[in-house]
Amino acid sequence: MTKPDSDFSSVLADALARYAPTLRKRVVENLLRDRSKLTPKQCLDRVASAFENVPLIDRRIRQLAPEALALLTLLHVGRRWRWPLPHVLELACIAGSNNSLDLILSLCEGGLLFVETKNDQQGIERFENWVPKALRSDTDFVLLPPRVGERAVGISPSLGRVAESEPEGNLQVFPEADGLELPLRLAVLWQKTRFDPPRIKMYGGLFKKDHQRFEEDPLLNGPGPADLTDFPSGWKWYLVWGMATGLIKYDADDSVLQVARLPEVLLHDLATVLEKLWSCGYEVESLVNDSYLNPAPLELLWPMSAGIGLLTALAQIEAEKWCSLDDLSAWLVCRHPRWKPKQTESDDEAASSIPSSLSDWLRAFLLGFAFPMRLIEAAQDAGQMWFVRLTALGRGVLGLGPLPSLPQYPQTLLVQPNLEIIAYRQGLRPELIGQLSRFCEWKSLGAACTLQLTPESVYRGLETGLTHDEILRVLQQHAVRELPAAVVQALKTWADKRERVTVYAAATLLEFASADDLQAALARGLPAVVLTDRLALVEREDDLDYRHFRLMATRDYGLPPDQCVSVSDDGVTLSVDMARADLLLETELQRFAEPVPATSSLISETRRRDEHNRRVYRLTPDSLRKAREEGLTAQMIDDWFRRRTGGETPAAVKLLLNGHAESPLRVCPLLVLQTPNPQVADGLMQWPESRRLIQERLGPKSLAVEQADLPALLDLLRSVGITTEADTGG
């Protein structure tokens, strides 16, 4: 199985914990044939140890009905231990059961299958009650203990013999595929998606530009050397596989497809990779039926359960014998619920009328998928009839036989001085494909594939965590001859170049109160790079041992800046609360303000005593002129004041900042006419005769008058009976 058994143990423990006590007790009794009283913990331990007890499991399996044994075998051949119930029902039907649900539930009662549910808070009282929910849910599963599947296969269950028609004349046998077609295309897809992540439209499908790019890509759409049929593959097919295997993920937040950091699924030996791909068949099936990728033409390949049944049936035939596609169709038509005839029809009648959808599916699945995956061999007789049989590797990958040892050709790369690499396919294996994909660019696929080393590809390889030495070692290990000096030199140059600039996307900086404190921290083993006498950079904050430190303050630069500056009454003196300040603040302030020394008379005694916690800056005409020359606008400074002080730009700063742009100030002598109350001043301002002789209103009872207009104004006032008296001081 692809997943390690240790994963299964913890899943099984969780699953059993959700059984109601009476159900759990019954299942454990049925499995162990032991009626002693057990605590829940003892139940879990006894069940876990039961699956290590091979004779016990064999005894239970031998007591099963043939169709139950066949179902366990089919589940094992699917190479996964977690199954959605609808798929298990299909497989039970293929196993020959007339009542698939009863068969599954009886295996659950016997402790040879388990059910997993996430939502049932009450616990499962009866399996029958769980079924309706499991048919709709995507969080409820049937679990097959790996040991049960292995032992069931060893007992050779019968799925019903497949007829064995003789071929006409001699068979023309096609060379066995290398199983690398899908891994190679996935490697190409991983690269292309990584370089330029395609975007997904709101209602599904790729954006036109990305769709066109993939559609026109010869590496994602060209025929493979092992193609026997016009199977509708192409980039959509590989994209679905990429998503099913976790190589590519849909980022719903950004509506974009992202790749995994490493092509993890490829970094194993061939058998493991093929097993992993095969086990993802159900994920592919659900993605093919999912509309947002619009992969409609691909539905021809599924259902996956039919594929599992077909290959299991093939495994019952002697290893050297061939089986025709017609015989396989006749076998499957009587078993799979999609094509199974009505009960009134006999099996012979059904076998004589094979629906065309089954023939098409069978051909596409076997010749278009199983053959390039190296699961089967294919041949044609004189009458153009196709015959197939399982390969030794196929039996091993499906868990139906031992894995054969495959020939190894470690030296398979021809690295040329022009930085092109020819990879001879017979020596390629998925792990090497995965490694090369990290630092070379695939240029062509075929019997001999070509790749190109470029500065960008090497740079991207280094970004995945490879080092220069590791890249060199991969090439040296697999090159048919010594690496050209030009290639070695180019790799060194490109790798060195990367060391010249480092970008920290989320560094942690420690700011110490003094240089001595920083040195003391280093002496205690602080894993940091010293930046200044008081600042140090830590690449991984997890490595910090906080027991040595007392946190004075913490600033997170992903959050909006803190309001940590207060403005004095003079409007130009700024006081910074250093505990709340960030590193950006000082660089910001230095652009338009000058630091004030602690000894300055501008700093009050109270603040001087608080020197460690506060720092003072002052805006001056010079500092603001410099800021203007560096491109800082009044708007930018205004934004800064709002963010950092929570208030508007002080008037004094506005004056210093914008004074040069104002109209010239006017200096002139004016007389002030004072009225006894505001109502008189209002009247003079409103009456047109007097208004034309007044310059402006200075206050509620003060009006400005020009010297030249004074006689006329006095005459006017006298004419309405208002007397005036002159200020002797004026």
Residues in contact with 688: Cβ distance below 8 Å, sequence separation at least 6, in sequence order: none
DSSP H helices in 222-345: 235-244, 270-279, 281-288, 304-315, 325-333
Neighbours of 675 (CB within 10 A): 18
Least distance between other proteins and beta carbon 583 (Å):
6
Nearer to other proteins, 506 or 667 (CB): 506
> Is the CB of 168 or the CB of 545 nearer to other proteins?
545
How many angstroms separate the most distant Cα atoms in the chain?
A: 138
CB closer to other proteins, 463 vs 622: 463
Select 418 or 532, whichever has its Cβ closest to other proteins. 532
- Pick from 180, 190, 114: which is nearest to 148 by CA? 114
Tell me whether residue 82 or residue 626 sits nearer to other proteins (CB atom): 626
Q: Which is nearer to other proteins, 171 or 488 (CB)?
A: 488
The distance of closest approach from Cβ of residue 483 to other proteins in the complex, given in angstroms and rounded to an integer, is 21
Contact between 281 and 304 under an 8 Å Cβ cutoff? The reply is yes
- DSSP symbol at 660: G
Rama region for 79: left / alpha / beta (φ>0; ψ in -120 to 50; rest): left
We find the least distance from the C-beta atom of residue 653 to other proteins, in angstroms, to be: 15
What minimum distance in Å lies between the beta carbon of 594 and other proteins?
A: 16
Q: Residue 460 CB, nearest distance to other proteins (Å)?
A: 9
3-state helix/strand/coil string of 41-87: HHHHHHHHHHCCCHHHHHHHHHCCCHHHHHHHHHHHHCCCCEECHHH
Of the pair 648, 689, the CB lying nearest other proteins is at 648
Q: How many CB atoms lie within 10 A of CB 371?
A: 27
- Tell me whether residue 75 or residue 462 sits nearer to other proteins (CB atom): 462
**Tokens 């098409």 found at:** 360
Q: Under DSSP, is residue 575 helix (H, G, I), strand (E, B) or coil?
A: strand
Phi then psi for residue 7, to 5 deg, are -60, -45
What is the smallest separation between the CB atom of 431 and other proteins, expressed in angstroms?
26
**219 or 653, CB closer to other proteins?**
653
Q: Please report how close the Cβ of residue 582 comes to other proteins at its closest, in angstroms.
A: 6
Which residue, 292 or 459, is less far from other proteins as judged by CB?
459
Tokens of 368: 């278009």
Minimum distance, C-beta of residue 488 to other proteins, in the bound complex (Å): 18
Q: Cα dihedral sign for 650, 656, 659, 665?
A: positive
Task: Considering the complex, state which of residue 403 and residue 544 has its C-beta at the smaller distance from other proteins.
Answer: 544
Structure tokens at 160: 């019903």
Closest distance to other proteins from the beta carbon of 456 (Å): 8
> Among residues 163 and 520, whose Cβ is nearest to other proteins?
520
Run of H or E including 386 = strand 386-390
The separation between CA 1 and the C-alpha centre of its own chain, rounded to angstroms, equals: 25
Residue 92 near residue 122 (C-beta atoms within 8 A): no
Q: Whose CA is closest to 444, among 188, 176, 177, 175? A: 188
Query: In whole angstroms, what is the distance from residue 87 CA to residue 89 CA?
Result: 5
- Closest by CA to 582, choosing from 515, 516, 632, 511, is 511
CB of 491 to other proteins, least distance (A): 12
Cα–Cα distance, 177 to 428 (Å, whole number): 13
State both tokens at 40. 């829940």
In the block, residue with structure tokens 């034309």: 692
Least distance (Å) between residue 611 CB and other proteins: 15
- Euclidean distance between CA atoms 4 and 8, whole angstroms: 7
Q: Nearest approach, Cβ of 519 to other proteins (angstroms)? A: 9
Q: How far is the CB of 81 from other proteins (least distance, A)?
A: 34
Minimum gap (Å) between residue 209 Cβ and other proteins: 18
DSSP state of 673: E
- Assign 8 to helix, strand or coil: helix
Least separation in angstroms between residue 574's CB and other proteins is 14
> What Cα–Cα distance (Å) separates residue 421 from each residue in 74, 418, 441, 481?
43, 9, 10, 12
Of the pair 554, 723, the CB lying nearest other proteins is at 554
Closer Cβ to other proteins, 13 or 530, answer by number: 530
Q: Specify the residue for token string 């004095």.
A: 568
Q: Which two tokens stand for residue 310?
A: 């077909």
Tokens of 313: 């049936």
Strand partners, 671: 705
Cα distance between residue 138 and residue 684, in whole Å: 86
**387 or 640: whose CB is closer to other proteins?**
640
CB–CB of 723/713 below 8 Å?
A: no
Q: Which residues in 571-717 belong to E strands, given as ranges?
A: 573-577, 594-595, 614-618, 671-674, 696-699, 702-705
Site of interaction with other proteins (CB under 8 A): 455, 459, 462-463, 494, 497-513, 516-517, 520-521, 524, 531-532, 535, 537, 539, 541, 547-561, 579, 582-584, 586-588, 590-591, 632, 636, 639-640
What is the smallest separation between the CB atom of 516 and other proteins, expressed in angstroms? 7
Task: For other proteins, give the closer residue by CB, 71 or 495.
Answer: 495
